[in-house]
Chains A and B, each alone.
Chain A
Amino acid sequence: MSIKEFRTAVEARGGLLVMKHTPAIAFGDRVRIEDHTGRIRNGQVIRSSEDEVLILVFEGVEDLDLENTWVRFLDAPIEIALSPELLGREFNGLGEPRDGRPPILSSLRRSVGGSAINPAARNYPREFIQTGVSTIDGLNSLVRGQKLPIFTGSGLPHNRLAAQIVRQAQLKNEDAAFSVVFAAMGVSYADAKFFRDEFASSGVLSNVVMFVNLADDPPVERLTLPRTALTAAEYLAYDLDRHVLVVMTDMTYYAEALREVATSKGDVPARKGYPGYLYSDLAEIYERCGRIHNRHGSITMMPVVSMPSDDITHPIPDLTGYITEGQIVLSRELDNQGIYPPVHISPSLSRLMKDGIGKDDTREDHPRVAAQLYALYARALETRNLASIIGADELSSHDRRYLTFADAFDRRFVGQGETEDRSIEATLDLAWELMSIFPKDVLTRVSEVEIGKYYHEVDESQVAAGSGGPSSGVTTAVQSYGGSQQKKRKSTSGAQPASTA
Chain B
Amino acid sequence: MTETQRTGVVRDINGPIVTIELPGIRHGEQVKIGELGLFGEVISLKGDRAVVQTYESTDGVRPGEPAEGLGWPLSVELGPGLMGGIFDGVQRPLEKIALQSGDYIRRGIDVSVLDRERKWDFEPNPDLELGQAVSPGTVLGSVQETETVVHRIMVPPGIHGELEELAPAGAYDIEATIGRVRSGGRRSEDQGRGQSHRLRMYHRWPVRTPRPYLRRDDGVAPLITGQRVIDTFFPQLKGGKGAVPGPFGAGKTVVQQQIARWSNADIVIYVGCGERGNELVDVLETFPQLDDPYTGRKLMERTLLVANTSNMPVVAREASVYVGITMAEYYRDMGYDVVVLADSTSRWAEALREVSGRLGQMPVEEGYPAYLASRLAAVYERAGRVETHGAGSGSVTLIGAVSPPGGDFSEPVTSHTKDIIETFWALSKELADARHYPSIDWVTSFSGHVHTAAQWWHENVNSTWEDRRRAALALLARDAELSRIVNLVGPEALSSTQRWDLEGAALVKEGVLQQSALDEIDTFCSPEKQFALLDLALRIYDLGAELVKIGVPVQELQRLPLLSRTRRLKSLYSSEQLDEIRAFRSEVEKTLEELRQEYAKQEEQA
Contacts and interface: CB of A to CB of B under 8 A. Distances in A.
A346 interface: yes
Given A271-B366, A271-B405, A389-B488, A284 B13 contact: no
Contact of A115 (B106, B277, B516): B106
Interface in B1-33: 11-15, 19
Contacts of B307: 119
A97 interface: no
**Contact-size category for A:** 35 or more
Contact of B433 (A286, A321, A325, A347): A347
B357 A276 contact: yes
A352 B357 CA distance: 34
Interface stretch (B72-80, B174-182, B489-497): B489-497
A386 interface: yes
Contacts of B126: none
Contacts of A396: 491
A136 to B, nearest CB: 16
A355 B279 CA distance: 12
Interface in A438-495: 441-442, 444, 494-495
A60 interface: no
A115 B59 CA distance: 11
A346 B433 contact: yes
B309 A119 contact: yes
B248 A444 contact: no
B277 A117 contact: yes
A390 B249 contact: no
A117 B435 contact: no
A157 interface: no
Contacts of B97: 118, 120
A322 interface: yes
Given A120-B97, A280-B310, A25 B62 contact: yes
Kindly name the residue among B277, B307, B487, B567 whose own CB sees the greatest number of chain A CB atoms within 10 A. Answer: B277
Nearest to A280: B314
Given A327-B249, A354-B518, A113 B57 contact: yes
B62 A26 contact: yes
A125 B278 contact: yes
A283 B280 CA distance: 15
A352 B63 contact: no
A119 B63 contact: no
Interface in B59-85: 59-65
B277 A385 contact: no
Nearest to B59: A28
Interface residues of B, number: 87
A122 B278 contact: yes
Contact of A313 (B274, B405, B564): B405
Interface string A103-144: 000000001011111111111110000000000000000000
B507 to A, nearest CB: 11
Mostly helix, strand, loop or mixed at chain B's interface?
A: mixed
Kindly name the residue among A24, A121, A367 whose own CB sees the greatest number of chain B CB atoms within 10 A. Answer: A121
B434 A24 contact: no
Contacts of B12: 47-50
Interface stretch (B155-163, B346-354, B575-583): B346-354
B357 A378 contact: no
A120 B489 contact: no
B518 A495 contact: no
Interface in B309-345: 309-314
A371 interface: yes
Given A50-B11, A117-B277, A119-B277, A28 B248 contact: no
Given A113-B59, A313-B405, A318-B406, A48 B13 contact: yes
B290 interface: no
B281 A386 contact: no
Interface string B232-251: 00000000000000011100
A395 B492 CA distance: 8
Interface stretch (A188-196, A201-209, A289-297, A418-426): A289-297
A466 B491 CA distance: 30
A270 interface: yes
A399 B282 CA distance: 40
Given A24-B63, A48-B63, 4 more contacts: A279-B347, A325-B278, A378-B435, A396-B491
Query: Top 6 closest A-B pairs, CB basis?
Result: A313-B406, A283-B310, A378-B434, A287-B311, A49-B12, A28-B59
